[in-house]
Amino acid sequence: MFPADQIIHLSKQAFWDVDMSKLDYDKQAFAIIRKVFDNGTWEDMLETVSYYGEGKVKEALITAPYLKQLTVIFVSKLFHIPISKFKCSTTKQYHPV
């Protein structure tokens, strides 16, 4: 069996702040999926869905405590999921000025 980083090929765009060689693609699956959909390329998203499967990707995104608003709208349309189903759509973060 091949190591995950030889199966899934992600760009540095979403992981600019992370040493990708230290990612644990199984233990950190939800964090990786969320980071890819918030900051990655279209190719990164396709690789992620191909590696983890549509079900796990949906679960990671629906249960995310925070996603960018644009990401929620995009994922909602892509997977035909009502925005109200996303955890982050009901728990807005407060950012004082």
Residue pLDDT, tens place only, 21-79: 888 999 999 999 999 999 999 999 999 999 999 999 999 999 999 999 999 999 999 99
Q: Tokens standing for 89?
A: 């759509």
**pLDDT, tens only, 67-81:** 999 999 999 999 999
DSSP 15: T
Q: State the pLDDT at residue 97.
A: 47
